């Protein structure tokens, strides 16, 4: 067994890690397991699959690539899981899905048919020993529960020498457990992927000499200045100390349009810089950030059984008493037939009541996640049965989060709607802002000609500007044009008020110091929204 040292400076690293088996493309490790540790391994580039057995403190990692991938896997194990989700929850009670046990019990069932009689008995008792011992332990410590019924249902045919029946019943129990664990694991894995992961590295700016350096995310501290560029995830909650940018907050607030952020504004972790650059003073890092708290809440709710799950477990345990004392005793008293008594125990539905409910809830959460709906836990699904009112966040739910132009308002007599649209589209095609994209799409649909202009200046969080035909054309927000550039739109006050009351986003256009027009946009209602609401009603 080859061992490698654990860095003493990392308090989250396991105290003992060993490589049990090592061949190219496959590692078996012995280590204290947690969901955080498994996710850290899964996130290594080149890892194909991760299979864990918490009872044996064993994890098998299959990977593609060279020795470098193997080294990264070992580093991930040593340093532990990321601190973005600081409170690692335990692995599911049923353990990780392990098809090996299913295959072994199936082999025992086949062996019960093919092997000589003495070997059948040895194989059978070895196969069912763990079920019998678990049933005896539960009987002595907790009373008559489902585990006791499993032991009786398997033990009776074994005592009567019906080894094929015994091994087949054992195989069905193991298969049911594997299905339950696999469903739960797929559901939890998919839900975790919907949550934002932390970045490995972040850039910070020194407050003394202004140098920008790259540091591990886990080392961030309150008060440090974090530099976030275009397209990057904001890793902390904090206040902008310098820079200007538009920030996509859809993942946290559901806003369809990027929000301008400048010095003094607050930003949240999990949001993304759409355009521009920001320097953010970190006020909350690691476990205290918004996304960490959201993720922790969801993970805790996943591990918390719903009321119906608790009731199903209690009902299953009560059903065991009915099966053993009433059904079993009555059948045997009337028939004196051991085979019929075995049948009563084998067809009992207590296990289905106990295990079917969590599987159904996990399957529902998994299917919802595949359809883009993050369900907070089994209790949330159960609560749906009592819902009589649904309140929708419009953006991205009832609407497609795709803007359409609804109004083109010209504020000068020498400018037509087509002229204004072509002018705006010619400048807007140089930016990726959603409003600009909607204008460009409509102009291309109408086959408008491109208007020649000089180099486009981008004013992050405000708009764009360029020289067109000797005039300075500015496009952007009302705040930018009126307060920063001194262009008054009082002439269109009534139209502006009406459009704003209708919930439309407005784009303002000016030439030099005179207003040219306004373009109004609104989010497109989903085609299926009306039918979905009708079904809900």
Specify the CATH superfamily of domain 399-525: Calcium-transporting ATPase, cytoplasmic domain N (3.40.1110.10)
Residue 519's pLDDT band, with cuts at 50, 70 and 90, is very high
Cβ atoms of 496 and 481 within 8 Å: the answer is no
pLDDT higher than threshold 80 for residue 481: yes
Residue 10's pLDDT band, with cuts at 50, 70 and 90, is very low
Report how far Cα 527 is from the mean position of its chain's Cα atoms.
Answer: 26
Number of C-beta neighbours around residue 382 at 10 A:
16
Residue with structure tokens 């989250």? 12
- Residue 317's pLDDT is what? 62
d(C-alpha 24, C-alpha 64), whole Å: 9
pLDDT higher than threshold 60 for residue 94: no
Residue 36's pLDDT band, with cuts at 50, 70 and 90, is low
pLDDT in tens, 407-445: 999 988 888 888 899 999 999 888 777 788 888 888 888
pLDDT in tens, 64-75: 766 778 888 887
**Domain ranges in the chain with CATH number 3.30.1360.10:** 2-79
Residue 281, helix vs strand vs coil? strand
d(C-alpha 465, C-alpha 488), whole Å: 17
- Residue 239's pLDDT is what? 93
Residue 16's pLDDT band, with cuts at 50, 70 and 90, is low
pTM recorded for the entire structure: 0.47
Report how far Cα 235 is from the mean position of its chain's Cα atoms.
Answer: 17
- Residue 480's pLDDT is what? 87
d(C-alpha 237, C-alpha 196), whole Å: 14
Structure tokens at 466: 């360029």
d(C-alpha 475, C-alpha 33), whole Å: 56
Q: For the chain, what is the radius of gyration of the CA atoms? A: 32
pLDDT higher than threshold 60 for residue 448: yes
d(C-alpha 280, C-alpha 259), whole Å: 16
d(C-alpha 225, C-alpha 210), whole Å: 10
d(C-alpha 27, C-alpha 217), whole Å: 27
- Residue 7's pLDDT is what? 33
CA distances, 1 to each of 15, 20, 499 (Å): 16, 5, 73
**Domain ranges in the chain with CATH number 3.40.1110.10:** 399-525
Quick one: fold of 2-79? Gyrase A; domain 2 (3.30.1360)
pLDDT in tens, 143-172: 767 677 777 778 777 777 778 878 887 887
């Amino acid at each position: 067994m080859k061992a490698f040292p654990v860095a003493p400076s990392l308090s989250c690293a396991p105290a003992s890690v060993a490589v049990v088996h090592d061949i190219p493309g496959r590692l078996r490790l012995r280590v204290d397991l947690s969901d955080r540790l498994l996710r850290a391994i899964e996130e290594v580039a080149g890892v194909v699959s991760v299979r864990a057995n918490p009872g044996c403190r064993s994890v098998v990692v299959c990977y593609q690539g060279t020795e470098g991938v193997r080294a990264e896997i070992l580093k991930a194990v040593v340093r532990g899981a990321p601190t973005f989700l600081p409170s690692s929850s335990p692995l599911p009670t049923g353990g990780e899905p392990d098809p090996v046990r299913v295959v072994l019990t199936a082999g025992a069932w086949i062996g019960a048919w093919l092997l000589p009689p003495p070997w059948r008995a040895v194989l059978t008792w070895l196969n069912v020993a763990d079920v019998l011992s678990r049933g005896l332990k539960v009987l002595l410590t907790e009373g008559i529960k489902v585990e006791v019924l499993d032991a009786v249902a398997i033990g009776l045919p074994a005592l009567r020498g019906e080894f094929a029946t015994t091994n087949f019943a054992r195989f069905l129990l193991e298969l049911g457990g594997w299905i339950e664990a696999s469903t739960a694991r797929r559901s939890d894995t998919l839900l975790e992927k919907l949550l934002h992961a932390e970045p490995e590295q972040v850039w910070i700016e020194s407050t003394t000499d202004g140098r920008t350096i790259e540091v591990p995310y886990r080392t961030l501290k309150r008060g440090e200045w974090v530099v976030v560029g275009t397209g990057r995830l904001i890793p902390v909650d904090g206040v902008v100390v310098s820079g200007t940018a538009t920030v996509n907050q859809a993942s946290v607030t559901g806003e369809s349009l990027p929000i301008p952020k400048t010095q003094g504004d607050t930003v949240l972790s999990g949001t993304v810089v759409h355009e521009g650059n920001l320097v953010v003073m970190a006020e909350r890092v690691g476990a205290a950030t918004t996304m960490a708290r959201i993720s922790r809440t969801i993970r805790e709710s996943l591990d918390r059984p719903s009321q119906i799950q608790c009731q199903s477990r209690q009902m299953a345990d009560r059903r065991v008493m009915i099966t053993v004392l009433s059904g079993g005793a009555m059948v045997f008293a009337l028939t004196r037939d051991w085979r019929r008594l075995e049948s009563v125990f084998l067809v009992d539905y207590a296990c289905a009541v106990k295990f079917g409910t969590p599987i159904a809830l996990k399957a529902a959460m998994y299917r919802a996640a595949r359809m883009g709906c993050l369900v907070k836990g089994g209790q949330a699904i159960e609560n749906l049965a009592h819902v009589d009112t649904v309140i929708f966040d419009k953006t991205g739910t009832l609407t497609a989060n795709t803007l359409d132009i609804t109004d083109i308002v010209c504020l000068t007599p020498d400018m037509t709607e087509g002229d204004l649209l072509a002018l705006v589209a010619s400048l807007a095609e140089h930016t990726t802002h959603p409003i600009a994209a909607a204008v460009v799409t409509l102009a291309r649909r109408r086959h408008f000609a491109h208007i020649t202009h000089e180099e486009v200046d981008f004013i992050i969080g405000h708009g764009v500007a360029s020289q067109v035909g000797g005039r300075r054309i500015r496009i952007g927000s009302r705040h930018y044009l009126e307060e920063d550039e001194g262009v008054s739109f009082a002439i269109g006050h009534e139209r502006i008020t009406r459009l704003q009351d209708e919930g439309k986003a407005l784009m303002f256009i000016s030439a030099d110091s005179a207003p040219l027009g306004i373009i109004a946009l609104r989010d497109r209602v989903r085609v299926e929204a009306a039918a979905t609401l009708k079904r809900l009603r």
